[in-house]
Amino acid sequence: MTGKLLLATILCLMGGQALGDAILEGNYNVTAVCTAVRVGTQLGSIESCQTYYVCQSTGPVQSSCQSGFSYDYKRGSCYPSSEVDCFWGVENPCAGKNNTWVPNTAVCGGYFYCLEGKSAGSGNCPMNQKFDTTTKACVYGSCSNTQSTDGVVLGSLCDVVPPGQYFGDTESCSIWHYCESTSTGLVLQSGKCSTNEQTAYSVLANQCTYESASVCSRVTKVPLIGGAVSCSSNGAKTGDSKVCGTYYVCTNGQNVATYCPSGYYYDVDSENCVTRQSATPVEGCNRCQYATTMFVNAVDSDNCSTYYYCNSQGQATLNTCPADTFFDESRQGCKSDNDLSTYVPLNGACKGASVDGGDNESTTEGTV
């Protein structure tokens, strides 16, 4: 089958998002949040008022406002700093303020009292309350961290995600979130899809739908707020289940994201970064990363029959060759199993595959 025929077969199946390299700001996992919102969504930063992120299919892309301007995530654009209530990364949050309260960004629920442009005192909101920058008061809400830190702390997703927009969750496919504007500030509302068999929340369709691999591709078990995933064996390496060129090294009880050079994937056998074509990455990771062709092998140690269509944004759609054929990435199509034994040694994605690897149902037509 030629590339054109493959493209015609699967154009109607496009969808899903690819997870980009992990970007962390304190306890705020920017990359994880990007997988839970629509492509094109802009997120605020908690390290700088001038910085914001544009969520693309391959992950967040950092952008900055010009000098003298700050990013207003509620309005989705840059405005003169004097017109934006932002305190992230500000050396003196009380500058230009008198007889009012401002947040202490180093602790959720913390605040400063400002008098003539300087801090005249500080405090913390009571238990089960947090400081709201809109009302400049403590309001009911939960805090993930109530201890002062040397860095920044994200107390609520509604401090970075624009209001009025539904988004998903990375720990459950059925959960949705929504930042609602109320008289007491922005409030995070959450719910769960549970109508009939439509138990999955689709970010792209903005509604509950049937569960599928593409709809639930954002579920990585990496929390939106909370930092790195814990681990028990220092030095142990784990490949990323979504990004082939990313792996994690257990360091002091936390998995730290590490990135292979461009054109390289993490190989699960050698536990090192090797060239893309030779590597056997984690099954299920998106091999559209660094690909120069429209169709690529999926990681398939069974019979090498699964492959991805890669769109221009790097999003992957999974497909399967007809019975008695395998996918040949160099030929950009499905090929007779007679040549599988010579293909496998040169292509790590199909390591271990064999002609009698298992039964295979046809989802496309024709062979090379």
Residue-wise pLDDT tens digits, 18-56: 344 478 887 788 999 999 999 999 999 988 999 999 999
For the whole model, what pTM was predicted? Answer: 0.54
CB of 154 within 8 A of CB of 73?
A: no
pLDDT band at 134 (very low <50, low <70, confident <90, very high): confident
Query: Of all residues in the chain, what percent carry a pLDDT higher than 70?
Result: 83
In the predicted model, what is the mean pLDDT of residues 344-355?
A: 93
Range with the largest mean pLDDT of 78-92, 117-131, 201-215, 224-238: 201-215
Which residue would you say has higher pLDDT here, 163 or 228? 163
CA pair distance 316, 57, nearest whole angstrom: 10
Q: In angstroms, rounded to a whole number, what is the distance separating the alpha carbons of residues 368 and 366?
A: 7
10-14, 130-134, 148-152, 262-266: the lowest-pLDDT one: 10-14
Helix (H, G, I), strand (E, B) or coil at 190: strand
Contacts of 221 (CB under 8 A, 6+ apart): 170, 171, 229
CB 44 within 8 A of CB 28: no
Q: Which tokens belong to 360?
A: 């295979």
Q: How far apart are CA 267 and CA 185, in angstroms?
A: 47
Position 141 confidence tier, pLDDT thresholds 50, 70, 90 = low
pLDDT score, position 221: 80
pLDDT of 58 above 80: yes
pLDDT (tens digit, 9 = 90+) per residue, 206-251? 999 999 988 998 888 888 886 445 677 888 898 877 778 888 888 7
**Whole-number pLDDT of residue 364:** 39
pLDDT at 63: 94
3-state SS string for 228-243: CCECCCCCCEEECCCE
pLDDT digits 0-9 by tens, 178-196: 998 877 677 788 888 988 8
pLDDT attached to residue 361:
40
DSSP states of 342-362 = HHGGG-GGGTT--TTS-----
**Residue 139 near residue 132 (C-beta atoms within 8 A):** yes
Q: Is residue 6 classed exposed, middle or buried when 0-12, 13-18 and 19+ CB atoms within 10 A define those classes? A: buried
- Going by pLDDT thresholds of 50, 70 and 90, the confidence category of residue 348 is very high
Q: In 3-state terms, what secondary structure has residue 257? A: strand
Model pLDDT, residue 194: 83
Q: Do 19 and 244 contact (CB within 8 A), yes or no?
A: no
Domain boundaries, the chain: 1-18+286-368, 227-284
Which percentage of the chain shows pLDDT scores above 90?
41
276-294 tens-digit pLDDT = 999 999 988 889 888 999 9
CATH number of 227-284: 2.170.140
pLDDT, residue 230, reads: 60
pLDDT grade, residue 197 (50/70/90)?
Answer: confident
d(CA 294, CA 283): 20
Q: Pick 148 or 271 by higher pLDDT.
A: 271
DSSP-assigned letter for residue 82: G
Predicted local distance difference test score (pLDDT) of residue 362: 37
Mode of pairing for the β-strands spanning 100-103 and 110-115? antiparallel
